[in-house]
Structure 1
C-alpha cells in the first residue's frame, strides 16, 4: 500500500509542466497523488491552473511518469533511500511552510527531520582558524539543547559544523545539490557515512543528478527553510552563504551572524549582515537561546510535564488515544498535521475530534486547529 502510494507520488513529480504549486493544487483537489492519475478529463479541467496544454500533459504523460517512478522506487529500495512526499509525516514541517519547498525529498539516514530544535550553520569554504574555532564552540554549546545541525557538506564551515556535531553526539543533516547516491565533495565521504547513523543526507534531486553549479542556490533554500535559525560564521560579501541568509530572512526565519575581524575578507559578509540588521549578533549561545525563546519553552515544557494528564485506555478508542498522544507531544496542531502524525485520514479524524470535544479533553480553535484542555 505504501509502495503504491509512493509510486504515484513520485510519478506526479515527473509529469511535464507540473511544478510544486500545481502539484499541491492537484493533490488538494483530488485527495491523493493516485487520485490525480485516476481523475477524468472533466474533473481535472475544473482545477484552477489546469488549462488545455497542461491537461494534455497530464493525460499523455501518465504512462511515462509511472515508468520513471517505478525505476526510482527500485533504486531507492536498493540504496536504502526514503522518498518523502510533502504529505509524508517524515517530511520536514518547517520546510513545508515555505512556498517553494520541494514536493519530493530523497533521504538517507536515521535522523528526525522534525526534531524539536534545528539549527543551520553556514559559511565560507575558505574558513580561517578563527572560523574553525567559533564553529566548533557554537556546536559544542548546542549540545545541552540537543539541537540538530544542518549544513551543506561543503568545504570550510559546512564540514567543520558536521564534524563538530558528530563529535558532540548531535544529529546532523547534510543537504546536497546532487542525487542521493553521490557524495560531493567525495573527500567528505567518511563524514557522510557517519552521518547516516547520526542524522543523514537529504536532497531534492533524483538518482544520477550531478552537483552542477545552479543546483547549489536551490539546495540553500532547503538549508534555510528546514531550521529555526541560520547562523552565518564567516562569509565574503558576495557569496552563496549570503544568499542562504537572504533566503532565511525572506522565509521569516531567524538569522544570526558571528562578528569578525574588520580586516578579514571572510568577515565582510557577516559584519554586513549585522550592520544592515539582516542578522542578530551571535556572541554566545545565550544570544541564540534568548532569540528563539528556548529558555521560556523549557520552563513551559517542565510545567506541562508536571501537569500532563494520564488518559485511561478503557475510556478512549485507539484513534482517540493516537490524537491525544500527538497533542501531548506537540501542543496545538492543525487538523492536516494531526492527520499525518496520527495516521488517521482526515475524513475519519473529524468524527474522532468531535468525540474528544464531547468528552471535554480537546478544544477546537480558529483555523482548523486543536489543542488539549488541561
Structure 2
C-alpha cells in the first residue's frame, strides 16, 4: 500500500458534496488522486459540474486532516484499502455506475472468485428458511467448493448463511453498513472474527460511521453488485432484501427466490418477486447450477477459425476470441473479463446472434454456434 496515494484516496471520499460521480469525473480529468488536491484551481474550475463551492470543499484543509486520522486507523488495525482502479477491487462492481470508489477490508478473502453468490433474506427468519439456507450451503460446498458467499452479517438469513458457509469451508464476505471500528450487531462478533480466516469484512464506510438506516440501503448495492446471482431465501412484503433484488436486476444479475406457502408472512416477498417476474423460482440446487451454466465441462470445444467471419467489428472480434477459448461464458463474467459495460455487451452479443455466430443459453450464458 502506497501511503501517499492512500491518503489522497481516502480524502477523495471525505469531501462534502463530492459523491461517486463527481469523484470519478475528477479522476478522469485530473488523472491522479494526489493532483486533485494539489492541481491549479483553474484546472478544477474548467471541469464540468464542478462549482466554485465544491472546489472550496476540495481544498478545505480539514479534508486531509480527516484522511490522515483515518489512515492511522487503517494502519493500526491492519486493514486493506482497495481503490476502484486496483486489480484486487471486486471487478463485478466496476460494471456498476454507482460503485464505491474505495473499500475498507479486513481478512484474507479474494474478491474476484469465478463464482459468487449473495444470499440474503429477512432478519425474522423461520425454521423453513434457515433449514434451506444450511442445506444450500452444504450442497454448494460439495458441488461448487470454490464459490464465494456474500451477505450482510445481519440477524436471520444473513448470519445463517455466513455460519453455514464457514461450517462447510466456503469463502464468505460480510458487507457492512458501518465502519470497521465496530461490529453490528455485537452478538455476531465471534462469527465475524471466524470469517477473517476464510473470508473478509468489507465496507465503504470509514471508522466512526454509525449503522444508520440509510447506510444499509447503500450497503445493499454492494451485496447485489459483487454477485453473479442473488438468492432471496425469505422476505416479508417489505424489506431490504426486496430492495437488493431490485438493484441486482438493474445490474443484470440473476435473481432467485425461494417460494413459500401463501399464508407464510416471511415468504410473501419471495412469492411476490417470482409472480412479478423479478426473480426466478428456486427449485433445486441442480436447476440453480444449470441455469447459471456452472456444470463442469466434460470436454473443450474445438477451436473455430475467425477467418470464417471476416466482417466482425473490433468489439465482436474480441468477444469471438474469448468464447473460442472458453466455449461458453455468463454475460456478467464476460463483461468483467473484457471490461465492457453489460448494457453495451448485450447489444454486441445481439449483433453476433443476428449473424448466427453466437447463441444465448438459459441463465445468461452465451456460446459460439
Distance 1:12 1:221 in 2: 20
Q: How many residues align?
A: 311
1:87 and 2:85 aligned: yes
CA deviation digits over 1:85-112, x for unaligned, max 9?
2112221111121111112111111111
Corresponding residue number in structure 2 for 1:50: 50
Q: Distance in 2 between matches of 1:118 and 1:28?
A: 30
Instruction: Report 1:114-193 matches (<5 A).
Output: 114-143=112-141, 144-145=143-144, 146-193=146-193
Q: Which residue of 2 aligns with 1:78?
A: 76
Kindly provide the CA deviation profile for residues 323-356 of structure 1, in whole angstroms up to 9, marking residues without a partner as x.
Answer: xxxxx999894579xxxxxxxxxxxxxxxxxxxx
Q: Secondary structure at the match of 2:114?
A: coil
Question: 2:255: which partner in 1?
Answer: 255
For the residues of structure 2 that align with 1:72 and 1:88, how far apart are their CA atoms?
19
Distance 1:21 1:132 in 2: 39
* Matched ranges for 1:214-363 at <5 A: 214-295=214-295, 298-299=296-297, 303=300, 333-334=337-338
- For 1:98, the equivalent position in structure 2 comes to 96
Partner SS, residue 300 of structure 2: helix
Please report how far the alpha carbon of residue 262 of structure 1 lies from its aligned counterpart in structure 2 after TM superposition: 1.7
The gaps in structure 2 that reach 5 residues or longer are 304-324, 327-332, 341-369
Task: Tell me how far apart the structure 1 counterparts of residues 82 and 40 of structure 2 sit (CA, whole Å).
Answer: 27
Distance 1:303 1:43 in 2: 53
Distance 1:135 1:334 in 2: 33
3-state DSSP of counterpart to 1:56:
helix
Find the aligned partners of 2:198 and 2:160 in 1 and give their Cα distance: 16
Change (3 A) 1:204 1:147: same
- Tell me the alpha carbon deviations over residues 10-33 of structure 1, each in whole angstroms, 9 at most, x when there is no partner: 111112221101111111111121
Change (3 A) 1:117 1:335: closer
Q: Decide whether aligned partners of structure 1 residues 335 and 155 sit closer, same or farther in structure 2, where only a CA change above 3 A counts.
A: closer
TM-score in terms of structure 1 length: 0.78
Within 2, Cα distance between the matches of 1:213 and 1:331?
A: 34
Q: Hey, what's the Cα distance between the residues in 2 that align with 1:212 and 1:56? A: 28
CA distance in 1, matches of 2:56, 2:69: 24
TM-fit CA distance, 1:40: 0.8
For residue 93 of structure 1, give the secondary structure of its aligned residue in structure 2. coil
Cα deviations by residue, 1:257-276 (Å, 9 ceiling, x for unpaired):
01112211001111111111
Q: Counterparts of 1:246 and 1:150 in 2: how far apart (Å)?
A: 17
Bigger Cα displacement from structure 2, 248-257 vs 33-42: 33-42
How far has the Cα of 1:130 moved from its partner? 1.0
CA–CA distance in 2 between the matches of 1:47 and 1:95? 26
The residue aligned with 2:307 is none
Structure 1 residue ranges (4+ consecutive) displaced by more than 4 angstroms after TM superposition: 328-336
Distance (whole Å) between structure 1 residues aligned to residue 183 and residue 106 of structure 2: 12
- 2:364 corresponds in structure 1 to none
Mapped partners of 1:261, 1:335: distance in 2:
42
Indicate the RMSD between aligned Cα atoms, in angstroms.
2.3
TM-score, normalised to structure 2, is 0.79
Shift, 1:38, TM fit? 2.4
